[in-house]
Structure 1
Amino acid sequence: MSTVCDVTGAKPSFGNTVSHSHRRTRRRWNPNLQRRRFRLADGRTVRLTLSTTAIKIIDRDGIDAVVARPRARGAKI
């Protein structure tokens, strides 16, 4: 599964874990990504890798409006 959200573009961020002695080691924060299947108004089904923020955006705006945005940019969904 890819580690990038199809709607928001959320991807892992990187930084340091700082111990009590202030030793720094590299770490990464992964977004909470989930695979969801949605049915569009024309009856087709799309499967998207979404962050939890994107799921809330779809609840607010509707799946057809959200899928239209990346398609307008030329992305294949």
Structure 2
Amino acid sequence: MSAHCMVTGRKPGFGKSVSHSHKRTNRRWNPNVSRKTYYLPSEGRRVTLTVSAKGIKTVDRDGIEAVVARIRASGVKV
């Protein structure tokens, strides 16, 4: 599963880990994403979305119908 939120668009951030000796190595900060299934009443089916913690809150606030419409408008198949 790629660490990319379908609702908010959050994706991994990249940077460096700095040790005590100041040696730098590459690292990556992944967003807190999980696969969550929602029921779409208008279509009578369930959809599975990869959403971050903030994306789940967005779905709760705006409603799944509005969020799916926004995702489809951006060109992603749901």
Give the TM-score taking structure 2 as reference length: 0.90
Tell me the CA shift for residue 59 of structure 1. Answer: 0.8
RMSD (Å), alpha carbons = 1.0
After superposition, what is the alpha-carbon deviation per residue over 1:26-73, rounded to whole angstroms, capped at 9, x for unaligned?
100111111100001222110001111100101111111111101112
Return 5+ residue gaps in structure 1 as ranges.
Answer: none
Separation in 1, partners of 2:45, 2:70: 17
Give 2:6's aligned residue: 6
Give 1:39's aligned residue: 39
- State the secondary structure of the residue aligned to 1:21: coil
Percent identity for Structure 1 against Structure 2: 61
Give 1:25's aligned residue: 25
Give the TM-score taking structure 1 as reference length: 0.91
Q: State the number of aligned residues.
A: 77
Give 1:65's aligned residue: 66
